[in-house]
Structure 1
Amino acid sequence: MRIVLVGPPGAGKGTQAERLTKTLSIPHVSTGDLFRANISQGTELGRLAKSIMDTGKLVPDEVTIAMVKDRLQHADTENGFLLDGFPRNTAQAVALDEILKEFGIALDGVLDLEVPEEEVVGRIAGRRLCRNDSQHIYHVIYKQPAAEGVCDECGGELYQRSDDSEETVRTRLEVYHTETEPIIDYYRKQGLVTTISALGTVDEVTERAIAALRENAND
């Protein structure tokens, strides 16, 4: 199964991607992972991306597209893949169609995780991290520490990352609505989009996603 996962920041794409790829036995292809892997391995694309990022500029679409194209030629994608973070805009979606056409394959579906904007703001702006270990994550509503502002695991101070502030989250949402959301309409015209609610427990969303993908595959 070849899937594109899309949704606003805070929709839980990373968590659902890990669960879906395990259930469907396909690799999780994340643009973030691709950038880190190419840079750490010192590939030509990685060196190019790093040289651009070091100047504070955004990596051009053509570099990201080239990394994805290279990744989709690996043997583990033969039976499918889940793309997370790509395509990020319509130009990348068009490029992906061209790549898949060149490979003689096509997408099976696009899973759209839908979350109300205020829920997204609440999820992200409410996060608190431990200064000693950023893997210790809390939330002012959903996962409160025993003592306010103190990590249960190590006693470290809990803080809010600057990019988790409400102002920053709303800016990220504006970027999503402007740049990424249009790909949903692009794929909807191809009859590929299935939209599900990303509200509820992680298990509930996963069950909803699996059911939607399997129903779409049987259509």
Structure 2
Amino acid sequence: MRIILLGPPGAGKGTQSARIVERFGIPQLSTGDMLRAAVAAGTPVGLKAKALMESGALVSDEIVIGIVADRIEEADARQGFILDGFPRTVAQAVALETMLSQKGLRLDAVVEFKVDEDALVGRIAKRAAETAARGEPVRKDDTPEVFKTRLEAYRAQTAPLSAHYAGTGLLQQVDGMAPIDEVTKQLETMLAPFQAVSA
């Protein structure tokens, strides 16, 4: 089962990823984690990424795709994986499809978390207030100003992926504003058919 989770920050992708990992036994692949691991391991792609990061440059799509390509060869990803936070642009989506097809693989589904953005801002503000009330440090991303900036970036760069994947027939949607357990049920029903296919 090879799936992508799409949705703006705060939509609940991280929470649901953890549940999918537990339910279906496939790893969640975060490009940030993979990048750090590749740099730490000193792989050829990791060394290229390290040089770019040290010079303050952005890591190119080609390098990120290379890191994903290496990671999905590992034993735990043989039965599938969840990509969260990648692709971020249509260009990355096209590069990902090309790389998978070269390996004889394809995506099973792209799940978009549909959310009300105003309600999301409220949800994040509440999370920040609860964290502060517990005396814990509030994540920098959880301040309403920073969060609104992240939402704008998502709308500009990543939202077009919805139409791209709708055009390929892979796009499915869940109601990200539903209670967490309800979203999990929607996802499990949606993904169950792919378990047998990829296994």
TM-score, normalisation: structure 1: 0.80
The equivalent residue for 2:29 is 29
**2:72 counterpart of 1:94:** no
The equivalent residue for 2:190 is 212
More helix by share: 2
Question: Once the two structures are superposed, what CA deviation does each residue of 1:102-153 show, in whole Å capped at 9, x if it has no partner?
Answer: 111211111111111112212333333xxxxxxxxxxx3xxx47xxx553xx
**2:38 counterpart of 1:43:** no
How far apart in 2 are the matches of 1:187 and 1:76? 26
How far apart in 1 are the matches of 2:14 and 2:80? 18
How far apart in 2 are the matches of 1:54 and 1:209? 39
The equivalent residue for 1:111 is 111
Q: Secondary structure at the match of 2:168?
A: coil
How far apart in 1 are the matches of 2:161 and 2:194? 18
Cα deviation for residue 174 of structure 1 reads 1.1
Q: Secondary structure at the match of 1:113?
A: strand
Distance 1:127 1:83, change over 3 A: same
Q: Relative contact order (C-alpha < 8 Å, sep 6+): which is higher?
A: 2
Q: Is the 8 A contact 1:108 1:217 kept in 2?
A: no
Moved more, 33-42 or 91-100: 33-42
Cα deviation for residue 44 of structure 1 reads 2.8
Q: Is the 8 A contact 2:124 2:142 kept in 1?
A: yes
Distance 1:84 1:161, change over 3 A: closer
Which amino acid in 2 is paired with 1:120? L
Q: Is the 8 A contact 2:65 2:99 kept in 1?
A: no
How far apart in 2 are the matches of 1:108 and 1:51? 34
Over the matched positions of the two proteins, sequence identity in percent amounts to 44
The equivalent residue for 1:188 is 166
Q: Secondary structure at the match of 2:174?
A: strand
The equivalent residue for 1:8 is 8
The equivalent residue for 2:143 is 165
How far apart in 1 are the matches of 2:148 and 2:60? 24
How far apart in 2 are the matches of 1:21 and 1:163? 24
Moved more, 158-167 or 100-109: 158-167
Q: Is the 8 A contact 1:28 1:83 kept in 2?
A: yes
Q: Mark the runs of 5 or more structure 1 residues left unpaired by the alignment.
A: 129-139, 152-156
**2:157 counterpart of 1:179:** yes
How far apart in 1 are the matches of 2:72 and 2:99? 9
Cα deviation for residue 31 of structure 1 reads 0.9
The equivalent residue for 2:76 is 76
Q: Mark the runs of 5 or more structure 2 residues left unpaired by the alignment.
A: none
Q: Secondary structure at the match of 1:21?
A: helix
How far apart in 2 are the matches of 1:74 and 1:26? 12
Cα deviation for residue 90 of structure 1 reads 0.6
Moved more, 70-79 or 168-177: 70-79
Q: Secondary structure at the match of 1:29?
A: strand
